[in-house]
Structure 1
Amino acid sequence: MSNDLLPLYTLASVEGWGIEDFNTTAQKISKSRPEIIAINLAPNGIVRHIFPHEENKNTFGHDLLKDEERKKEAELAKETQKITLSGPFHLRQGGIGLAFRQPIYFSSDTGKNEFWGFAVIIYRFPDIMVSRVNFEILSQAEFSWRLWRIDPTDGKKVVLLHSKEAQDDFFTYEIKLQNATWYLDISPKNGFLNLERIAVLVSVSLIICAIVSLLAAYFVNIVTKYKDIKKEVVLDSLTGLHNKKFFWETFEPLLEKYIQGYDTRSTNLFLCVFDLNNFKRINDTHGHIIGDQILIEFSKKLLQELDYNEFAVRFGGDEFIAVLNCPLAEGMDSPKRIQDMKSRLEFTYCIGKEDLNVTVSMGAISPCHDMLLGKPAHISSGEFFLELADRRMYIEKKSRMESKCHQDGCRD
């Protein structure tokens, strides 16, 4: 693993880390590498933590495993559990970058390695190369040259770097990398094996070694070194969402600050509880493997609904929680964003020739100080508001069941 990626891998394994911890870690990495454009953590392959955020905010929510130009290397990293090199390519935030993706795996309770997501560092190209590899020696010795690769998405030749002079008669050197092959073409202007240029050919070998060494430095595997990494993390091993432990450690202090400043806020905090309908029947009918796949798919959809500084939790089984910030329309129990979100979270899952409609019940509440007047003394504020949201969710679930029963002509 790259020395730059190591702190990110470690951060993802630590209990209770949050956005401030990520920013602090990413800032330390960036200070030592001026070529860094962006540092990302992507749970389940979806970019959720970005530094620096403002310059790269249009990459938030980007799914590396679905992007046609990115998914091949991302899937390879996930499959091999090894870091991969991707690019150079045009970035969504502008410019050209070279990306290193480290897949992050943790041991589940069963001892199986579960995929969490990716740690990604994107370097500005060609800065990362020209600052460390002396191509100028070739031009000074009157050699024309070009560095190129085959694009894995379309199979076309892509020139990465080249000298000012262009010639057709090149000798090609192959440069083997972790998951890719680059090529260096060189051509002397005045004959190939002129004795005065033999030393330059030696320099070509040194340049190739420099390229391989530079990029190979990012491919040091530390899997064995990190087998004893903390297992008690704040992430759900199946879905990649945060877990119940994270929810209580984060929501209680967040709620306290929110309640204190409730009257001056321009946006309202919303606590949303989701429960998949008839999930037990799905497990009983189709098996737990299909059930797990449905939970994973729902989690991905829920992550895609989040904005910066919002979070989602798998609270247990098929129950999920999202903590959102959004305006409250007058006279409405929940804003339009939350109402629309619920319909987007429902989907059809195909099992062979059968289409399984996955629906969800939701309860949403925006906490305020006045509500606390009804709070029992033996429970915390967080527990109280979660219970209120839970009640609303079950009211909706019951109403939905009664409506379906009426349509189907059920009898008591």
Structure 2
Amino acid sequence: MSFKKTGFPLKSDKPVLAGFLVFLTVLLLGAFIYWQRYQILHEERGREMRGIIQVIDNNISQVLKSSYSAALSQALLIGDNGEINDFEIKAKQLLEANPFLDAIQLVPNGVITHVYPLEENEAALNYNILKDETRNKEALRAIDEKKMYFAGPIELKQGGLAVVGRLPVFIEDEFWGFSAVIIKFENFLKHAGFNKLNSKDYKFQFSKVDPDTGIATFFLDEDLSSDAYSEEILFTDGNWKIHIAPENKFVPFISLLPLGVLFLFLAFWLKHRTVKIMKRPERLQAMVDAQNIEIFNSNLRFKKIFNQAAVGMARMDTRTGTFIETNKRFRNFSGYSEKEITGMSFRQLSHPEDIEENQKLMQKLLQGEIKEYSLEKRAIRKNGTVGWIKLTVSPLWHPGQEPSNHIAIIEDITKSKEAELQLTKSYKVLLDQNKRLVNFSYIISHDLRSHSTNIQSILDLYGMSEIPEEKEHYVELLTKVTANLNQTLHHLNEVVSIQNSPNLKKENLNLQEFVNKTIENLSIQIREKKAEMIVEIPEGARVYFNSAYLESVLLNFISNSLRFSDENRKPVIEIRATERNGRWILHISDNGIGIDLEKNMDKLFGLYKTFTNRRDSRGIGLFITKHQVEAMGGEIEVESTPGIGTTFKIKFQ
């Protein structure tokens, strides 16, 4: 067999040159493989660091969210006149519920007046943080941005290094002070997960940019050299950075030294063998044949690994987004056979809401902005069910080449994602329950006051009257009002019984009956105001609503129309209901003093927001009403002109 037949380009009289070229080729190939493997190890290390720092990110975010909730709960102790109620009881409960907190403070006008526990924090009392120019920058920032900001780590007056979260409290849009929480720095690091995640492979650093000097201060005894690659995250709420870097940046390089030595040895060995082969063409042909067999076996092994991988894998046509080939695990997840899925577009398996994000990341990959990308998305199986996957996409082209194919790797994360979504839903339910509890307390203080006013008015009239018939009439009115009060108490008791349920009890209620009952409850005020009531409610108007909430909503709106009537004209209140697209809309219109919506629209439904100088106006009714209607799935619209009147529209679900 001649050299020409084997395809070998060199003559047999140049074996040394051939051996050198083989040596150089193998050496370059080894260097390439060595570099590629090094890059893989380097990127794996980077992903591991990103995963670790993401855990710390989640832990710190949870600490900050819980700290905000604790500060907000403490702020609710402050009354509308700035008085502080039950501080020690509430502070103790918050510390027991939040083990990461070490102390709680109330800081009116920047001066620490209340702190719990007092024994170990007494030195901080009467300290004015706003007058301390070395520490007031972050406090002033919290006031300016009107949101909670975390200062520190700073040295406390009572000693020790800690992180201080300050929530600015405003009453009637005026700054009252701060509701503050203190987390000792070692406790902060513990709940952030530094202790658990610390290992011999990585080191951590915690830094903060000084607001005065702009210089970063480092708080941990770790030296992250500038030439070491690292990952970091920024927390804007405290202007902190968390850094992570390898303990030894040369670990990937050192771990691959045996591979380098192996390639060097292989290059020398192949050089020696090539020289011998050049002298023995027959043996060269045998080696070529053996190499072909090895390549064939390598392809078979690759196919086997591809098809039996523990994760789903697919080779995709980058230009069209269609599947070229998929492994068994991928097809089992999707429910499609190999024949069915080949040629399908990824869009057919993607949830419509997740396609846009996927395409944006692919565009960045095509433009060379990223080397690969991962995202969590929803996939639609053949049977129509939706599952969550973690998708990782890597290109099969080199930089500078025309994009052709890419590899898509999927991991089924449906169970973990559903657990995460359920946890988020549970958290929202808890917030809603707390909101309804606050709402209920406002109902008691506001609605019962209306009934007590009616009773007091009737008793006053009864005491002034000397005519037996009038007194008997007032006794009848008192009986009716008392009966309505009893029913209101019954409804409120019913609301209490369902506060532990995520869903308020709704009933199919007759709107006309509730409107008539409310007018009857307000009959004394209507008579005193000499108001004209125009009611146009169809008998068939029924709404799906909570009965206590509906009574409160009607009482608030109608009593407001009476209370804010124009003294220069007879009050006229029109109540009518219309139906549109299967929904009932209740219109309550009056010819009262009206509201300047251009000035007051943003705070119309705010807590303790008032628009007149009347002493009996407390700014609670509209706040309660809006939340009651929205809790039932409804909406409120308002139209008003000063001096002409106001119309409220309640759109029931």
| TM above 0.5 | no
The structure where helix makes up a greater share of residues is 2
The structure where strand makes up a greater share of residues is 1
TM-score by length of 1: 0.42
Higher relative contact order, structure no. (Cα contacts within 8 Å, ≥ 6 residues apart)? 1
Computing the radius of gyration from Cα coordinates, the structure with the larger value is: 2
